Amino acid sequence: MRRRAFLALPAGLLPCRPAPASPQIDEYDPGNLKLAHRTPWDAPDGDLHFLQQIGLRWVRLEYGSQDPHVDALAKVQRRFARFGLSIYGAVHHAYRSLRIQLGQAGRDQDIETYHTFLRSLGKLGIPLAPYDFHPANTYTTNYVIRRGYRAREFNLDDFRARVEKQAFAREYSAEDIWSFYTYLMKAVLPVAEEAGVKLPLHPDDPPVAKMNGVAKLFVHYEGYRRAEEIAAGSPAWGVRLCVGTWLEGGDRMGKDVLEMIRDFGGRGKLFDIDFRNVSGPLPRFVETFPDDGYADLYPVMRELRKVRFNGSAVPDHVPELEGDAGLRRAGTAYCIAYMRALLRRANEEVG
């Protein structure tokens, strides 16, 4: 076609050339980051259908204190599978027992329950058991309206003046809590290794050194480094990086979010991501939608792809939109769509 005739064509009739082949990998390729969502074990079928509708294929199962044996967990796994949902990680609250986290009598019984859960995960091919270690924690001091949606707020001054209380009969030092954490790791890491299950450790949220009379350990980079030393090279030990928690700490964290990804992700020790934003660092923050906080989350997604992170990433503490309840479908869809857009752009850029 001659140039003059070409330019005379209406815009809708201009001939199109095929787009060049893209080197990016598909969202669902095994080597890609896995978009997932925190989902209760007893979520109604309607919620599971909703997750299927917005394109999710993985969930992090919130299993609470349910029966840890393989038959009970397999029943949940089969129900989720009917909606095309695979359980990539599962959380059982046996590890949250105060007998474990405060070194009380009877902790071995609770640890054995957790052993049973880890072995069940291994038998069912569920690779992650995310956990945290912060007894006597306070996450929220208020709920506020931000840009018209309802969100959680933490104000350190308000916490100290109004909310904080002596949680137990005595205070617990950092060395006390380190001894209890070490006891748990020495007991569960060998079982996790044998089961083929990884244990991603969540940071303390918010990253405040002591709350309600109990010290917290994972409030900066050095806490993670010490935990890694305790794990003594175990392939089961790794990091569940909560982006929002790390942003809450700001420059007090020792490394920023991108540096954490390069360090632990670059060494294959980054297993799980909580992907959220906040309005600003301590002493006060609001947990926002991913586009409404003080951090640009695209560099975070891009860095995850650069280190070839292929674990799961979930929207965390989803704010509440009009009509939301239960799984907060509107807010969840908003977060997943935003994360998917960032992931696709990162796949294009990083390849």
Task: Give the pLDDT confidence of 158-216 residue by residue, as tens digits.
Answer: 999 999 999 999 999 999 999 999 999 999 999 999 999 999 999 999 999 999 999 99
**Short-list 197, 205, 198, CA closest to 223:** 205
Burial degree of 18 (CB within 10 A; 0-12, 13-18, 19+): exposed
Residue 47 near residue 54, CB atoms below 8 Å? no
Position 20 confidence tier, pLDDT thresholds 50, 70, 90: very low
Distance CA 277, CA 35 (A): 16
Q: What CA dihedral angle connects 38, 43, 45 and 47, to 10 degrees?
A: -50
Kindly report which listed range (2-6, 61-65, 215-219, 317-321) carries the lowest average pLDDT score.
2-6
Which pLDDT belongs to residue 323?
Answer: 87
CATH 3.20.20.150 fits 24-350, yes or no: yes
**pLDDT 10s digits, 227-256:** 999 999 999 999 999 999 999 999 999 999
* Structural domain spans, the chain: 24-350
- How many angstroms separate the first and last alpha carbons of the chain? 36
**pLDDT 10s digits, 290-326:** 999 999 999 999 999 999 999 999 998 999 999 898 8
**pLDDT 10s digits, 154-169:** 999 999 999 999 999 9
Average pLDDT over residues 48-63: 97
